[in-house]
Amino acid sequence: MTVLVFCTIVIIVPGCDADVLQGGAVYERNCANCHGAFGKGDGPRAATMQIKAIDFTQSEVMEVISPKAFERMLFKACPLWPGTRLVTSSPLTRSGTSSDM
């Protein structure tokens, strides 16, 4: 039984690492400029925004936002500057995002 548990962990962890790295790259490219490197809403562009960037590290904020509301905010309100938008062909979840975003 111990061997099976070890094998399962070894198989799952590398996939998770790739997902985390991919998600980090998507966040860095599309979100960090406003939300900051650590999601605190303090990115370099945050000071110039008319609407304050959400601090993703505040659990009381994130707990009340449903996945559907988060997706609506993401595609209708972000980014806030004209002429640009985020595009994805897959649904978003709190644990992942589309690679073509």
- What digits encode the pLDDT tens for the residues 35-85? 999 999 999 988 888 888 889 898 887 788 888 887 787 777 676 555 555
The per-residue pLDDT for 40 is 94
> Cα(49)–Cα(36) distance, rounded to whole angstroms?
13
Whether 97 maps to a domain, the answer reads no
Residue 56 resides in a domain: yes
CB 71 within 8 A of CB 50: no
Residue 58 lies in a domain: yes
> What is the number of domains present in the chain?
1
Does residue 8 lie within any of the structural domains?
no
Quote the DSSP letter at residue 43: -
Report the distance separating Cα 65 and Cα 67, nearest Å: 6
Token pair listed for 7: 């094998």
Answer yes or no: is 40 within a domain. yes
Residue with the larger pLDDT of the pair 34 and 2? 34
Q: Domain for residue 42, yes or no?
A: yes
Amino acid occupying residue 90:
S
Q: Write out the residue range of the structural domain in which residue 53 sits.
A: 29-82
- Residue 67 domain-assigned (yes or no): yes
57 within some domain:
yes
